[in-house]
Structure formats: structure tokens, C-alpha cells
Amino acid sequence: MSAAGFVAVAWFAVLAALTLRLGANAPLGPTGRPDPDALHVNLFLAGIPLGILATGLTAWLLMRPIMSLWRRGGLSMVSALGGLSAAMLVTFLARESGGMIALAATAVIAVVGAIAVARRALGAA
């Protein structure tokens, strides 16, 4: 997996943990559904595009040696969408299999993986 993919997994694991923690005791709205103005709902809705942006930006910065902006941008978008797909799968499986502890462990492992792969990528450039 690329450093951008690891960043996406870390971002969405933290986002899922925060959203679940904040929304666990949140009161329901008058219709019996979550209140759309609740903090955990807005955190989730803002966190998804910010996670995609962080993933794409990580890929963009690590592809600095590529001089073609067109190619660099295209590869960054592919990395962002691929990272998003991988992150949603990994965080779902972590949450369903091990709960909040597994989400925290997934985030830590992903951060360590992102740092290791980014160092390797920067060393090769």
C-alpha cells in the first residue's frame, strides 16, 4: 500500500472512532433519527472530503519528482480514491471485528506504515 493509502486508513479510522464516540450518547431528534445539526454528524460529513483531500495531498507531495503536473495530478486523484476505498473497507472490518480498540490499533499501525513508506519514497527520490 502507498503512503497515501496509509494516510487514508489512519484518517478514516480516527474519524470513525471520534464519530462513534461522540454519537454514542447523542440524543435523537424529534423524528427519532440522529439530529442533523449534531456535532458527530457534522464531523463525519466534513471529515470525509477532508480525508480525501489529505490523501490526495500526501500523494501529490510524495510525487514531487514527477515533473508533469498532469500526470502527478492524475496519479494523486487515483491515490485519493483508492485510499478512500481501502480505508472504508479496513475501518469497517476493524470496527466490526474488534470495536474501538481495533480502530485505535488500525490508526496507529496506519500512521507507522505511512511514515515508513514515505521515508522510503523520499529516500528513493
81-109, pLDDT tens digit by residue?
A: 999 999 999 999 999 999 999 999 999 99
Cα 1 to Cα 21, 54, 118: the distances in Å are 28, 16, 11
Tens of pLDDT along 46-81? 999 999 999 999 999 999 888 999 999 999 999 999
Q: Is the model more confident about 40 or about 13?
A: 13
Question: For residues 63 and 54, what is the distance between their CA atoms, to the nearest angstrom?
Answer: 14
Domain ranges of the chain: 3-26+35-124
**Exposure b/e, 90-115, CB count within 10 A at least 16 = b:** bbeebbeeeeeebbeebbebbbebbe
